Structure 1
Amino acid sequence: MPERDAYEVLEVHPKARQLVIQAAYRVLAGEYHPDRDPSPGANRRMVELNAAYEAVRTADRRAVYDIQRSRAAAPVPIVMGYAEPGPRSRESERGSNVVDFGRYAGWTLEEVNRQDPEYLRFLSRHSSGIRYRRRIEQLMARRAEAAAERR
Protein backbone atom coordinates (compact mmCIF):
# COMPACT_ATOMS: atom_id res chain seq x y z
CA MET A 1 0.00 0.00 0.00
CA PRO A 2 1.43 3.46 -0.89
CA GLU A 3 2.47 5.79 1.92
CA ARG A 4 -0.19 8.37 1.04
CA ASP A 5 -3.76 7.54 0.10
CA ALA A 6 -3.84 6.58 -3.59
CA TYR A 7 -7.03 8.54 -4.21
CA GLU A 8 -5.50 11.64 -2.66
CA VAL A 9 -2.36 11.30 -4.77
CA LEU A 10 -4.45 10.85 -7.94
CA GLU A 11 -6.77 13.70 -6.86
CA VAL A 12 -9.94 11.66 -7.36
CA HIS A 13 -12.85 10.71 -5.14
CA PRO A 14 -12.64 7.18 -3.70
CA LYS A 15 -15.91 6.29 -5.44
CA ALA A 16 -14.76 7.62 -8.82
CA ARG A 17 -15.18 5.36 -11.82
CA GLN A 18 -12.19 3.46 -13.19
CA LEU A 19 -12.05 5.65 -16.31
CA VAL A 20 -11.90 8.77 -14.14
CA ILE A 21 -8.96 7.33 -12.21
CA GLN A 22 -7.17 6.43 -15.43
CA ALA A 23 -7.76 9.90 -16.89
CA ALA A 24 -6.56 11.60 -13.70
CA TYR A 25 -3.41 9.48 -13.74
CA ARG A 26 -2.68 10.38 -17.35
CA VAL A 27 -3.16 14.10 -16.76
CA LEU A 28 -0.97 14.12 -13.66
CA ALA A 29 1.66 11.86 -15.23
CA GLY A 30 1.88 14.23 -18.17
CA GLU A 31 2.25 17.18 -15.82
CA TYR A 32 4.94 15.63 -13.59
CA HIS A 33 6.85 13.56 -16.12
CA PRO A 34 10.60 14.30 -15.78
CA ASP A 35 10.76 15.29 -19.46
CA ARG A 36 8.24 18.07 -18.86
CA ASP A 37 9.07 19.12 -15.30
CA PRO A 38 12.81 19.09 -14.49
CA SER A 39 12.32 20.14 -10.84
CA PRO A 40 13.60 17.69 -8.20
CA GLY A 41 10.14 17.35 -6.63
CA ALA A 42 8.63 16.17 -9.91
CA ASN A 43 10.57 12.91 -9.87
CA ARG A 44 9.43 12.15 -6.31
CA ARG A 45 5.85 13.07 -7.24
CA MET A 46 6.01 10.82 -10.31
CA VAL A 47 7.20 7.85 -8.24
CA GLU A 48 4.38 8.47 -5.77
CA LEU A 49 1.88 8.83 -8.62
CA ASN A 50 2.99 5.55 -10.21
CA ALA A 51 2.71 3.71 -6.88
CA ALA A 52 -0.78 5.10 -6.28
CA TYR A 53 -1.97 4.20 -9.77
CA GLU A 54 -0.49 0.73 -9.49
CA ALA A 55 -2.58 0.19 -6.34
CA VAL A 56 -5.92 1.09 -8.02
CA ARG A 57 -5.15 0.43 -11.70
CA THR A 58 -7.60 -2.46 -12.15
CA ALA A 59 -10.90 -3.30 -10.46
CA ASP A 60 -9.30 -6.27 -8.68
CA ARG A 61 -6.35 -4.29 -7.34
CA ARG A 62 -8.67 -1.47 -6.36
CA ALA A 63 -10.89 -3.85 -4.36
CA VAL A 64 -7.87 -5.15 -2.46
CA TYR A 65 -6.61 -1.60 -1.88
CA ASP A 66 -10.02 -0.43 -0.64
CA ILE A 67 -10.15 -3.28 1.88
CA GLN A 68 -6.65 -2.44 3.14
CA ARG A 69 -7.57 1.23 3.23
CA SER A 70 -10.75 0.63 5.24
CA ARG A 71 -8.86 -1.49 7.76
CA ALA A 72 -6.16 1.14 8.17
CA ALA A 73 -8.57 4.05 8.54
CA ALA A 74 -9.43 5.27 12.00
CA PRO A 75 -13.12 5.52 12.87
CA VAL A 76 -14.56 8.74 11.53
CA PRO A 77 -17.02 10.64 13.73
CA ILE A 78 -20.46 11.19 12.23
CA VAL A 79 -21.02 14.84 11.42
CA MET A 80 -24.41 16.25 10.55
CA GLY A 81 -24.72 18.89 7.86
CA TYR A 82 -22.16 19.86 5.28
CA ALA A 83 -18.48 19.28 5.82
CA GLU A 84 -16.04 22.09 5.20
CA PRO A 85 -13.84 21.56 2.16
CA GLY A 86 -10.42 20.25 3.05
CA PRO A 87 -7.20 22.01 2.16
CA ARG A 88 -6.30 21.73 -1.50
CA SER A 89 -2.83 20.94 -2.64
CA ARG A 90 -0.98 23.30 -4.93
CA GLU A 91 -1.09 20.65 -7.64
CA SER A 92 -4.90 20.64 -7.71
CA GLU A 93 -4.98 24.44 -7.95
CA ARG A 94 -2.43 24.49 -10.76
CA GLY A 95 -3.88 22.20 -13.31
CA SER A 96 -6.06 19.39 -12.15
CA ASN A 97 -8.79 18.59 -14.58
CA VAL A 98 -10.82 16.62 -12.03
CA VAL A 99 -13.74 18.25 -10.24
CA ASP A 100 -13.37 17.62 -6.51
CA PHE A 101 -16.73 18.82 -5.19
CA GLY A 102 -20.44 18.83 -5.94
CA ARG A 103 -22.51 16.39 -7.92
CA TYR A 104 -19.68 15.69 -10.38
CA ALA A 105 -16.93 15.06 -7.82
CA GLY A 106 -14.33 12.74 -9.30
CA TRP A 107 -15.33 13.53 -12.90
CA THR A 108 -12.99 15.20 -15.37
CA LEU A 109 -14.12 18.42 -17.00
CA GLU A 110 -14.31 16.58 -20.33
CA GLU A 111 -16.76 14.06 -18.88
CA VAL A 112 -18.88 16.82 -17.38
CA ASN A 113 -18.81 18.62 -20.74
CA ARG A 114 -20.18 15.54 -22.51
CA GLN A 115 -22.81 14.85 -19.84
CA ASP A 116 -23.93 18.32 -18.71
CA PRO A 117 -22.47 21.33 -20.60
CA GLU A 118 -24.85 23.69 -18.81
CA TYR A 119 -23.20 22.80 -15.51
CA LEU A 120 -19.83 23.81 -17.00
CA ARG A 121 -21.29 27.19 -17.97
CA PHE A 122 -22.51 27.62 -14.41
CA LEU A 123 -19.17 26.50 -13.02
CA SER A 124 -17.25 28.94 -15.22
CA ARG A 125 -19.20 31.82 -13.67
CA HIS A 126 -19.17 30.53 -10.10
CA SER A 127 -16.39 31.29 -7.62
CA SER A 128 -15.76 27.60 -6.98
CA GLY A 129 -14.92 27.13 -10.66
CA ILE A 130 -12.21 29.78 -10.90
CA ARG A 131 -9.38 27.26 -11.01
CA TYR A 132 -11.09 25.41 -13.88
CA ARG A 133 -12.09 28.50 -15.86
CA ARG A 134 -9.38 28.35 -18.54
CA ARG A 135 -10.04 24.68 -19.32
CA ILE A 136 -13.82 25.21 -19.28
CA GLU A 137 -13.46 28.07 -21.78
CA GLN A 138 -11.43 25.79 -24.05
CA LEU A 139 -14.05 23.05 -23.86
CA MET A 140 -16.90 25.48 -24.49
CA ALA A 141 -15.07 26.99 -27.48
CA ARG A 142 -14.46 23.53 -28.91
CA ARG A 143 -18.16 22.68 -28.45
CA ALA A 144 -19.18 25.92 -30.20
CA GLU A 145 -16.83 25.18 -33.11
CA ALA A 146 -18.25 21.68 -33.47
CA ALA A 147 -21.79 23.06 -33.47
CA ALA A 148 -20.84 25.65 -36.12
CA GLU A 149 -19.32 22.94 -38.33
CA ARG A 150 -22.51 20.89 -38.14
CA ARG A 151 -24.57 23.80 -39.54
Structure 2
Amino acid sequence: MPERDAYEVLEAHPKARQLVIQPAYRILAGEYHPDRDPSPGANRRMVELNAAYEAVRTVDRRAVYDIQRTRAAAAVPIVMGYAEPRPRSRESGLGSNVVDFGRYAGWTLEELNRQDPEYLRFLSRHSSGIRYRRRIEQLMARRAEAAEERR
Protein backbone atom coordinates (compact mmCIF):
# COMPACT_ATOMS: atom_id res chain seq x y z
CA MET A 1 0.00 0.00 0.00
CA PRO A 2 1.44 3.46 -0.87
CA GLU A 3 2.55 5.70 1.98
CA ARG A 4 -0.05 8.36 1.12
CA ASP A 5 -3.63 7.58 0.23
CA ALA A 6 -3.77 6.62 -3.46
CA TYR A 7 -6.96 8.61 -4.04
CA GLU A 8 -5.40 11.69 -2.49
CA VAL A 9 -2.31 11.32 -4.68
CA LEU A 10 -4.43 10.83 -7.81
CA GLU A 11 -6.76 13.66 -6.74
CA ALA A 12 -9.75 11.36 -7.24
CA HIS A 13 -12.66 10.73 -4.90
CA PRO A 14 -12.53 7.26 -3.28
CA LYS A 15 -15.99 6.48 -4.66
CA ALA A 16 -15.17 7.71 -8.16
CA ARG A 17 -15.90 5.31 -10.99
CA GLN A 18 -13.04 3.22 -12.30
CA LEU A 19 -13.18 5.18 -15.56
CA VAL A 20 -11.94 8.27 -13.68
CA ILE A 21 -8.78 6.70 -12.27
CA GLN A 22 -6.72 6.32 -15.47
CA PRO A 23 -7.44 9.83 -16.83
CA ALA A 24 -6.62 11.32 -13.42
CA TYR A 25 -3.31 9.47 -13.44
CA ARG A 26 -2.47 10.47 -17.02
CA ILE A 27 -3.21 14.14 -16.43
CA LEU A 28 -1.05 14.28 -13.30
CA ALA A 29 1.69 12.15 -14.87
CA GLY A 30 1.84 14.55 -17.80
CA GLU A 31 2.02 17.48 -15.43
CA TYR A 32 4.68 16.08 -13.07
CA HIS A 33 6.77 13.94 -15.44
CA PRO A 34 10.46 14.81 -14.91
CA ASP A 35 10.86 15.52 -18.64
CA ARG A 36 8.27 18.29 -18.38
CA ASP A 37 8.79 19.47 -14.81
CA PRO A 38 12.43 20.21 -13.95
CA SER A 39 11.68 20.95 -10.28
CA PRO A 40 13.45 18.82 -7.68
CA GLY A 41 10.21 17.30 -6.34
CA ALA A 42 8.93 16.14 -9.73
CA ASN A 43 10.72 12.79 -9.61
CA ARG A 44 9.45 12.05 -6.11
CA ARG A 45 5.93 13.07 -7.12
CA MET A 46 6.10 10.80 -10.18
CA VAL A 47 7.18 7.83 -8.07
CA GLU A 48 4.29 8.54 -5.72
CA LEU A 49 1.84 8.81 -8.65
CA ASN A 50 3.05 5.51 -10.12
CA ALA A 51 2.67 3.72 -6.77
CA ALA A 52 -0.83 5.14 -6.26
CA TYR A 53 -1.94 4.22 -9.77
CA GLU A 54 -0.48 0.74 -9.44
CA ALA A 55 -2.58 0.22 -6.30
CA VAL A 56 -5.94 1.15 -7.90
CA ARG A 57 -5.49 0.76 -11.66
CA THR A 58 -7.75 -2.30 -12.03
CA VAL A 59 -11.04 -3.18 -10.38
CA ASP A 60 -9.45 -6.14 -8.57
CA ARG A 61 -6.46 -4.19 -7.27
CA ARG A 62 -8.73 -1.35 -6.24
CA ALA A 63 -10.97 -3.71 -4.26
CA VAL A 64 -7.95 -5.08 -2.37
CA TYR A 65 -6.62 -1.56 -1.79
CA ASP A 66 -9.99 -0.33 -0.51
CA ILE A 67 -10.16 -3.20 2.00
CA GLN A 68 -6.63 -2.44 3.22
CA ARG A 69 -7.48 1.24 3.35
CA THR A 70 -10.58 0.73 5.51
CA ARG A 71 -8.68 -1.60 7.85
CA ALA A 72 -5.89 0.95 8.20
CA ALA A 73 -8.42 3.71 8.83
CA ALA A 74 -10.10 1.62 11.54
CA ALA A 75 -6.77 1.21 13.33
CA VAL A 76 -6.13 4.96 13.37
CA PRO A 77 -7.76 6.88 16.22
CA ILE A 78 -10.56 9.12 15.02
CA VAL A 79 -9.85 12.81 15.40
CA MET A 80 -12.68 15.19 14.68
CA GLY A 81 -11.49 17.71 12.16
CA TYR A 82 -13.11 19.91 9.62
CA ALA A 83 -15.30 18.48 6.91
CA GLU A 84 -14.44 18.95 3.28
CA PRO A 85 -15.42 22.49 2.29
CA ARG A 86 -18.30 22.85 -0.09
CA PRO A 87 -18.35 25.21 -3.06
CA ARG A 88 -18.97 28.82 -2.09
CA SER A 89 -21.45 29.41 -4.91
CA ARG A 90 -24.39 29.01 -2.55
CA GLU A 91 -25.70 31.98 -0.64
CA SER A 92 -25.12 32.12 3.08
CA GLY A 93 -26.38 34.46 5.76
CA LEU A 94 -29.79 35.26 7.21
CA GLY A 95 -32.61 33.26 5.70
CA SER A 96 -30.18 30.85 4.09
CA ASN A 97 -29.95 27.10 4.58
CA VAL A 98 -26.16 27.17 4.16
CA VAL A 99 -24.01 26.92 7.28
CA ASP A 100 -21.27 29.54 7.13
CA PHE A 101 -19.08 28.57 10.09
CA GLY A 102 -17.36 25.62 11.74
CA ARG A 103 -16.46 22.26 10.34
CA TYR A 104 -19.52 22.19 8.06
CA ALA A 105 -19.05 25.64 6.54
CA GLY A 106 -20.62 25.69 3.09
CA TRP A 107 -22.91 22.71 3.71
CA THR A 108 -26.69 23.02 3.42
CA LEU A 109 -28.91 21.97 6.29
CA GLU A 110 -30.30 19.22 4.06
CA GLU A 111 -26.80 17.81 3.50
CA LEU A 112 -26.15 17.96 7.22
CA ASN A 113 -29.43 16.16 7.88
CA ARG A 114 -28.26 13.29 5.68
CA GLN A 115 -24.63 13.19 6.82
CA ASP A 116 -24.63 14.17 10.49
CA PRO A 117 -28.09 14.52 12.06
CA GLU A 118 -26.54 14.64 15.55
CA TYR A 119 -24.66 17.82 14.65
CA LEU A 120 -27.90 19.27 13.31
CA ARG A 121 -29.59 18.48 16.63
CA PHE A 122 -26.70 20.17 18.46
CA LEU A 123 -26.94 23.18 16.17
CA SER A 124 -30.66 23.56 16.90
CA ARG A 125 -29.84 23.96 20.61
CA HIS A 126 -26.74 26.12 20.22
CA SER A 127 -26.81 29.92 20.03
CA SER A 128 -24.99 29.91 16.69
CA GLY A 129 -27.85 27.89 15.19
CA ILE A 130 -30.70 30.23 16.16
CA ARG A 131 -31.12 31.52 12.62
CA TYR A 132 -31.48 27.95 11.32
CA ARG A 133 -33.75 26.64 14.08
CA ARG A 134 -37.05 26.66 12.16
CA ARG A 135 -35.61 24.78 9.18
CA ILE A 136 -33.76 22.33 11.44
CA GLU A 137 -37.00 21.54 13.28
CA GLN A 138 -38.70 20.87 9.95
CA LEU A 139 -35.91 18.54 8.85
CA MET A 140 -35.86 16.72 12.18
CA ALA A 141 -39.66 16.29 12.10
CA ARG A 142 -39.45 14.88 8.58
CA ARG A 143 -36.69 12.49 9.70
CA ALA A 144 -38.81 11.34 12.66
CA GLU A 145 -41.82 10.76 10.38
CA ALA A 146 -39.70 8.70 7.98
CA ALA A 147 -38.38 6.61 10.87
CA GLU A 148 -41.92 6.10 12.14
CA GLU A 149 -43.08 4.94 8.68
CA ARG A 150 -40.29 2.36 8.53
CA ARG A 151 -41.57 0.74 11.74
- TM-score, normalised to structure 2's length? 0.52
Counterpart Cα distance in 1 of 2:49 and 2:75: 26
Q: Deviations over 1:69-121 (max 9, x none)?
A: 00000479999999342999999999999999999999999999999999999
8 Å contact from structure 2 (residues 6, 55) kept in 1: yes
Counterpart Cα distance in 1 of 2:43 and 2:134: 27
Q: How much does 1:44 deviate?
A: 0.1
Return the structure number with greater relative CO, CA threshold 8 A, min gap 6.
1
8 Å contact from structure 1 (residues 30, 36) kept in 2: yes
Q: Runs of 5+ in structure 2 lacking a partner? A: none
8 Å contact from structure 1 (residues 20, 108) kept in 2: no
Counterpart Cα distance in 1 of 2:32 and 2:7: 17
8 Å contact from structure 1 (residues 7, 14) kept in 2: yes
Counterpart Cα distance in 2 of 1:21 and 1:102: 32
Q: Deviations over 1:16-49 (max 9, x none)?
A: 0111111100000000001100111000000000
Counterpart Cα distance in 1 of 2:42 and 2:96: 15
Q: Deviations over 1:52-74 (max 9, x none)?
A: 00000000000000000000004
Q: Report the CA distance shift for 1:77/1:123 in structure 2 as closer, same or farther (over 3 A).
A: closer
Instruction: Return 95-104 or 63-72, whichever deviates more.
Output: 95-104
- Report sequence identity in percent: 93
8 Å contact from structure 1 (residues 27, 97) kept in 2: no
Counterpart Cα distance in 2 of 1:16 and 1:63: 13
Larger Rg computed on CA atoms? 2
